[in-house]
């Protein structure tokens, strides 16, 4: 249910202004957007809350109002806030959707937090593949084969390919039979989604991804933990290279 503007008075606005500190680089739209996004994604501000006026934000951050205006426009495009002419800027409902948007924005800025998240995922996926090779049943291997076949069958359907790719990784985590590991990888599913969407148009992504997944599958089928770990590490290395190529291309 969408919050009505009058449910949150302007008295709510100073809360965010008090949380903010001046940005390092004056007149940087990206820095202002990042600072606002950090607070919004952390849950400091309730959905439906009206943000402080441009003047208040500019004073709190120590930047020109034009930088604040540009940052708010960017967050509006990302769907994180809603700018209502004559009323103000409001935090949208659905804070659970902040993560993929925050990741995407972070990738565009080369944000350290995103790089750290990618690094953690790389190690987690390796552990997942190793344990899956140790614990997989024939039925488990058959399900992995189905996911890989769905990737092959996707053709030019990028969404279907990405869905099958993510399913393969989550299935591998399930086969590992470690609930904590599986929960962690499920929790960063948004990262996988954004990652694949960004690299899908890089030449060689589909063929390379299929080959890399097949190597992981073969190692798990052979019940070879060392090979599974190496195959997943190589997949993560190549996937990371494709992600960097995508970010560098936009830069």
pLDDT single digits (tens) 129-138: 999 999 999 9
Give the chain's mean pLDDT. Answer: 80
Q: Class for domain 26-91, per CATH?
A: mainly alpha
Residue pLDDT, tens place only, 196-231:
777 887 888 999 999 999 999 999 999 999 999 999
Same fold, 26-91 and 98-249: no
**pLDDT at 81 (0 to 100):** 84
Any idea what the Cα angle at residue 142 is, between residues 223 and 193, rounded to 5°? 95
Q: What is the pLDDT of residues 8-51, one digit of tens each?
A: 444 444 455 555 555 544 447 777 887 887 777 666 677 888 99
Q: What CATH number has the domain spanning 98-249?
A: 1.20.120.530
- Listed in sequence order, the residues at least 6 apart from 2 whose beta carbon sits closer than 8 Å to its beta carbon are 48, 93
Q: Can you give the pLDDT at residue 196? A: 78
Q: Which residue has tokens 């949208």?
A: 92
Q: Decide: pTM greater than 0.85.
A: no
Q: 7 falls in which pLDDT band (50, 70, 90)?
A: very low
Residues 6 or more apart whose Cβ sits within 8 Å of residue 81 = 40, 51, 72, 75, 89, 90, 91, 92
8 A C-beta contact, residue 7 and residue 49: no
Q: Which of 48-62, 65-79, 214-228 has the lowest mean pLDDT?
A: 65-79
- Listed by start position, the domains of the chain span 26-91, 98-249
C-beta of residue 151 within 8 angstroms of C-beta of residue 164 = yes
Angstrom distances, CA of residue 246 to CA of 18, 162, 204 = 36, 16, 12
Q: What is the residue whose two structure tokens read 């509006």?
A: 76
**pLDDT tens digit sequence for 78-120:** 677 888 988 999 988 754 555 555 555 555 545 565 567 678 8
Segment (H or E) for 180: helix 179-187
The kind and range of the H/E element at 131 are: helix 112-135
246 pLDDT more than 80: no
């Amino acid at each position: 249910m969408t919050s009505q503007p009058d449910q949150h008075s302007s008295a709510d606005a100073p809360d965010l202004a008090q949380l903010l500190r001046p940005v390092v680089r004056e007149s940087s739209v990206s820095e202002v957007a990042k600072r606002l996004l950090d607070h919004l994604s952390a849950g400091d501000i309730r959905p439906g809350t009206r943000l402080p006026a441009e003047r208040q934000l500019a004073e709190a951050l120590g930047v020109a109002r034009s930088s604040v205006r540009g940052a708010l426009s960017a967050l509006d495009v990302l769907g994180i806030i809603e700018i209502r002419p004559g009323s103000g800027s409001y935090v949208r409902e659905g804070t659970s959707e902040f993560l993929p948007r925050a990741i995407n924005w972070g990738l565009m800025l080369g944000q350290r937090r995103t790089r750290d998240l990618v690094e953690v995922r790389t190690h987690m996926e390796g552990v997942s593949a190793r344990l899956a090779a140790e614990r997989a049943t024939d039925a488990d291997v058959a399900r992995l084969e189905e996911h890989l076949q769905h990737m092959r069958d996707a053709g030019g359907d990028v969404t279907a390919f990405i869905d099958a790719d993510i399913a393969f990784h989550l299935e591998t985590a399930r086969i590992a039979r470690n609930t904590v590991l599986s929960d962690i990888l499920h929790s960063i599913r948004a990262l996988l989604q954004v990652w694949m969407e960004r690299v899908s148009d890089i030449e060689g992504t589909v063929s390379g991804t299929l080959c890399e997944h097949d190597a992981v599958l073969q190692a798990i089928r052979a019940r070879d933990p060392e090979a599974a770990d190496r195959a997943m590490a190589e997949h993560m290395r190549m996937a990371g290279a494709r992600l960097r190529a995508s970010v560098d291309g936009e830069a």
